[in-house]
Amino acid sequence: MSNMRWDFLPKYLPYFNDGLIFTLIIALFVVVFGTIIGVLVAVGKMSKIAPLRWILNAYVEIFRDTPMLIQITIGYVILGAANWPSIHIGILSNDLGRLIPGIIVISLNSGAYMAEIVRGGIEAVPVGQREAAYSLGIRPIPTMFKVILPQAFRNILPAIGNEFITIVKDSSLLSTIGIMELYNGGQTVLNLVYQPLSPLLLAALYYFVVCFALSRLQALLEKKLGKGYAK
């Protein structure tokens, strides 16, 4: 601890700032795609088509019961592509041939968890809502997407917030396939300045500040939704 120095900050701070931007962009894409996948899978698992239910149940179990790190590695081997263009943010860049497979795999992982969250939200909607829609002549699929899901989303918004916070942290696993995000930015600085602790502590501080701020925003959202129910 006595050898821990921070004199690298002025020169290497962009690795952390730009890495954080990449991390948040990845997390935003993943939570959007993961939520869409989760909705479709949840609705499909409630279908009367048995083979569809079996396939979707297998998908959920596979992604929930295997480590994300292995999923990312396998996904990169299968989906990774060479000679793709790169996108740049400040001093960092990411090859789309790595970034896109990484986002796809984490989105599929997130979708498996979101499917169960969405299913719980759907089941929390009173059965009378569905029956009322049917009595008005609305068919089952429009009823699900126009009546049930909008109400279910109110129940699951806090869970989506939790998933976003989780993805912000779990996106660090993409460093294993060479994605430059916050953790990999800190790791790069560690290798440049030969300081084994300071860069990782700073990266941890970045994660803490972002996730703490997101959790506070989520708490405010839950409070506001609670007041909406009280009305």
Give the model confidence (pLDDT) of 33-92 as tens digits.
999 999 999 989 988 889 999 999 999 999 999 999 999 999 999 998 878 899 999 999
- What number is the average pLDDT over the span 20-36? 95
Question: What is the reported pLDDT for 229?
Answer: 46
Question: What is the reported pLDDT for 222?
Answer: 77
Question: What is the reported pLDDT for 226?
Answer: 66
Question: What is the reported pLDDT for 195?
Answer: 82
Question: What is the reported pLDDT for 52?
Answer: 94
- What number is the average pLDDT over the span 94-110? 95
Q: Answer whether residue 1 shows pLDDT above 60.
A: no
Global pTM reads: 0.88
pLDDT tens, 159-173?
888 999 999 999 999
Judge contact between 130 and 57, C-beta under 8 A.
no
| Joined tokens for residue 89 | 């943010």
Answer with the residue of higher pLDDT: 51 or 138.
51
Question: What is the reported pLDDT for 227?
Answer: 55
Q: Reduce the secondary structure of the chain to three states and give it as a string.
A: CCCCCCCCHHHHHHHHHHHHHHHHHHHHHHHHHHHHHHHHHHHHHCCCCHHHHHHHHHHHHHHHCCCHHHHHHHHHHHHCCCCCCEEEECCEEEEHHHHHHHHHHHHHHHHHHHHHHHHHHHHHCCHHHHHHHHHCCCCHHHHHHHHHHHHHHHHHHHHHHHHHHHHHHHHHHHHHHCCCCHHHHHHHHHHHHCCCCHHHHHHHHHHHHHHHHHHHHHHHHHHHHHHHHHC
Question: What is the reported pLDDT for 146?
Answer: 81
Question: What is the reported pLDDT for 154?
Answer: 80
Token pair 């295997």 in the structure block, residue = 66
Question: What is the reported pLDDT for 206?
Answer: 96
pLDDT band at 123 (very low <50, low <70, confident <90, very high): confident
Question: Rounded to the nearest 5 degrees, what angle is found at the Cα of 196, between the Cα atoms of 195 and 199?
Answer: 70
Question: What is the reported pLDDT for 165?
Answer: 94
Q: Answer whether residue 2 shows pLDDT above 60.
A: no
- Give residues with Cβ within 8 angstroms of 47, minimum separation 6: 53
**Amino acid at position 89, single letter:** I
pLDDT tens, 181-213?
999 999 999 999 888 889 999 999 999 999 999
Q: Answer whether residue 230 shows pLDDT above 70.
A: no
